[in-house]
Chains A and B, each alone.
Chain A
Amino acid sequence: MATFQVRLVDSRLVSSSIGRGQGDDAVYGVGPYGGLRDLFSLQRVIAGLGALAVLATVPFGGMKKAVDVHPDRGLERLAVNQVYDAGPYKITITGARLLKDQPPLYATNKANRWVIILATVEVTADESRNDAATAIHLRGVAGVPDMDGMLRNDADSVLVRSDLTVFYAAHPGMPEELVIGWEQDSKAAVPTEVDVLVTGRTYRMNTFNESMEWLDEEDRAIVTVPVLDRRNT
């Protein structure tokens, strides 16, 4: 009985320390096991679980600041001419060229050069698409900014290679060779090779309108392409 008495007193101390009033005892009760009951109050259990979750992160570095990951992390490295399935389309980077400004390329500054990526795109989705060329971006080329304001720097000019018309859409099952060009500042170094990023998409339900769409644009592959200087031919 003596231990019961001690616990009884103890539980009263505990309950008053977490702010329960005397009147609450009528509701919650102060029986022989009241102390344990108070020890496992809802708030404490939740707080305890939270603390356990934080502790569980310790083996993985705890609250240490995350290290910057390598920019190529998660990117599949492709070879030139390797066909890559980027979701709604297959993309093959076939080469790179450096050209002077000439029709049907029209630079905003006549002195600027054109960094050209040659690529083949083929829609594998079941409808024509007009976003295959914007799935290809340059990375880290001097004189060609990666970003255009808040947006990625999409190509300045995209042409169909066979007739040099402005490219609009690629069609299912019809590989189309494209000329994808970025203006390069004439003062920048002449590139000998460029990194090309390929963006993929995932077919999933759009949770806003519940229709199935190709969403979640993300860079998935990288190709390093040697640049042939054809400014004088």
Chain B
Amino acid sequence: MSAPQQPHPGQPGYQAPPDYPAPQQPYAYPPRPGHAPPPGYPQPGYPTHPGYPPQPGPHGAPGYPGYTVPPPGYAPAPPAHVGQPPADPPPAFVLPPGFLAAQAQGQPAPPPSTGPGWWRRNWWGLLVIVPLLVTALGPELPELYRKWHNTKPNERVHVAGGQWASFGGGRIRLISLKRAPALTTYEGRPYTPPVTMQIWQATVEVDVTEDADLEGCDFSVADARGRVFSASPQELNGVDVDRASCLRPFDAPKTGPFTVVATFATSALPQGLRVTVGTELPRYLWLTAPD
């Protein structure tokens, strides 16, 4: 520049060099006094003459609310954000590239992304999902598992050949599992079961101390298909059979094993005796008789 005393742009008397291009800066607002407005910018009535007042301090940028009242006698200011708008900030949410590939066929290619990708910008949020899921669902899982697995006899503990089995704080063994001998009703008449029904009796030795969990045992037998038949069924109502239990009978010795007989009505050949104790679930004993 050959004229050092030329006024600054924005000051009265400033002349743009002849080859000065129309400014294309993103924030070309407002046109500085003395500048030719950029193409497409002509604002009817907008003052371009010298004497445009200095802006009122650092916060007085046009577009700021505090600027909306011009000094008295001044021409009305243009509405905010005429001229070129500021460049868009990076969008808050953009689908990852290729997400809509199927739809994009035949469409013009989307403008190339400028900032970091969606996955990059949200990696921490995605990472947080993992511990959130674990803390939300995790505590429930053991309970759910317990509900469907641990409250039913699902884990068989097989003790074969009439061996003693330790279970629920006591001992128990199967002496025999046989067809029942002739039974009578409580009135003393002989009882003949229907031909569709077989009656089986399991003779069991139990050794249990008082208050052991085994005292609350339940007996059942299962056939080859795994079908379960409970002891002392209502099919045998009126028939003189014992109600089997692991409680020490009042007339049994105070210590040592005692014998109980459990009676079953089945529709098939039982393969062994099941002993379930509530506190031992899901484990249950599967006792098979000596050969």
Judge: A and B partners, yes or no: yes
A29 at the binding interface (Cβ < 8 Å): yes
B129 at the binding interface (Cβ < 8 Å): no
| Chain A residues closer than 8 Å to B7, beta-carbon distance | none
B50 at the binding interface (Cβ < 8 Å): no
B59 at the binding interface (Cβ < 8 Å): yes
B66 at the binding interface (Cβ < 8 Å): yes
B69 at the binding interface (Cβ < 8 Å): yes
- How far, in Å, is A28 (CB) from chain B's closest CB? 10
B124 at the binding interface (Cβ < 8 Å): no
| Chain A residues closer than 8 Å to B44, beta-carbon distance | none
A33 at the binding interface (Cβ < 8 Å): yes
B69 near A30 (CB under 8 angstroms)? no
Q: How far is B67's CA from A32's CA once the two chains are assembled, in angstroms? A: 9
- How far, in Å, is A190 (CB) from chain B's closest CB? 48
Please tell me the number of chain B residues within 8 Å of chain A, measured between CB atoms.
Answer: 6
Interface set, chain B 39-80, CB cutoff 8 A to A: 59, 64-67, 69
A32 near B69 (CB under 8 angstroms)? yes
Please tell me the number of chain A residues within 8 Å of chain B, measured between CB atoms.
Answer: 6
A31 at the binding interface (Cβ < 8 Å): yes
Interface set, chain A 5-41, CB cutoff 8 A to B: 29-34
- Interface 1/0s, chain A 66-102, versus B by CB < 8 A? 0000000000000000000000000000000000000
Q: How far is B67's CA from A34's CA once the two chains are assembled, in angstroms? A: 12
The closest CB in chain B to the CB of A31 belongs to B66
Q: How far is B64's CA from A31's CA once the two chains are assembled, in angstroms? A: 9
Q: How far is B57's CA from A34's CA once the two chains are assembled, in angstroms? A: 14
The closest CB in chain B to the CB of A34 belongs to B66
| Chain B residues closer than 8 Å to A29, beta-carbon distance | 59, 64-66
| Chain A residues closer than 8 Å to B64, beta-carbon distance | 29, 31
- How far, in Å, is A6 (CB) from chain B's closest CB? 16
Q: How far is B66's CA from A30's CA once the two chains are assembled, in angstroms? A: 8
- How far, in Å, is B61 (CB) from chain A's closest CB? 10
Q: How far is B67's CA from A29's CA once the two chains are assembled, in angstroms? A: 12
- Interface 1/0s, chain A 177-208, versus B by CB < 8 A? 00000000000000000000000000000000
- How far, in Å, is A34 (CB) from chain B's closest CB? 8
| Chain A residues closer than 8 Å to B65, beta-carbon distance | 29, 31, 33
Q: How far is B163's CA from A120's CA once the two chains are assembled, in angstroms? A: 64
Q: How far is B67's CA from A66's CA once the two chains are assembled, in angstroms? A: 54
Q: How far is B61's CA from A29's CA once the two chains are assembled, in angstroms? A: 12
| Chain B residues closer than 8 Å to A32, beta-carbon distance | 66, 69
The closest CB in chain A to the CB of B59 belongs to A29
Q: How far is B66's CA from A139's CA once the two chains are assembled, in angstroms? A: 71
- How far, in Å, is B67 (CB) from chain A's closest CB? 8
Q: How far is B65's CA from A187's CA once the two chains are assembled, in angstroms? A: 85
Interface set, chain B 123-138, CB cutoff 8 A to A: none
6 interchain residue pairs of minimum CB distance: A31-B66, A29-B59, A32-B66, A31-B59, A33-B66, A29-B66
Can you list 15 A-B contacts (CB < 8 A)?
A29-B59, A29-B64, A29-B65, A29-B66, A30-B59, A31-B59, A31-B64, A31-B65, A31-B66, A31-B67, A32-B66, A32-B69, A33-B65, A33-B66, A34-B66
Given A31-B64, A34-B66, 13 other A-B residues pairs in contact with their CB atoms under 8 A:
A29-B59, A29-B64, A29-B65, A29-B66, A30-B59, A31-B59, A31-B65, A31-B66, A31-B67, A32-B66, A32-B69, A33-B65, A33-B66
